[in-house]
Amino acid sequence: QAYCSRFLSRFGGLTKHIHVSDARAPDQEGLQIGEGEMDFSFLRGVDLPMLIEVWKGHENNGVGFRFGIERLRALEKSW
C-alpha cells in the first residue's frame, strides 16, 4: 500500500489508468478483489480509470471482471 501511494503521489498526474488486482504472499496474484491481502484504500480519492485483473475473469462473458468491479465499488463506499 505504501508503495502504491507513493507511486500515485509522484506519477498520478502522468498515469492514464491503473491495473487493479488482489494478491497473497508469497506468489498468488490475480485473485478476486477482496480474496487476497491487498489494502485498496490507497485508491481513495484516485480519479483514474481502473482495469480489474482477475485470473480467468474473462470467462463466462466476463463474470469475474464484473464481480471484481462490484467488490471494488463496495470497498470504495466503505472509505
Reported as a single tens digit per residue, the pLDDT across 1-26 is 789 999 999 999 999 999 999 999 99
Q: How many CB atoms lie within 10 A of CB 22?
A: 23
Cell readout for 32 is 478476486
Tell me the backbone φ, ψ of residue 15, rounded to 5 degrees. -85, 135
Nearest C-alpha neighbor of 79 from the set 42, 44, 35: 44
The mean pLDDT of the chain is 93
Residue 26, helix vs strand vs coil: coil
Q: What's at 53, amino acid-wise?
A: E
Separation between Cα atoms, residue 36 and residue 23, nearest integer Å: 5
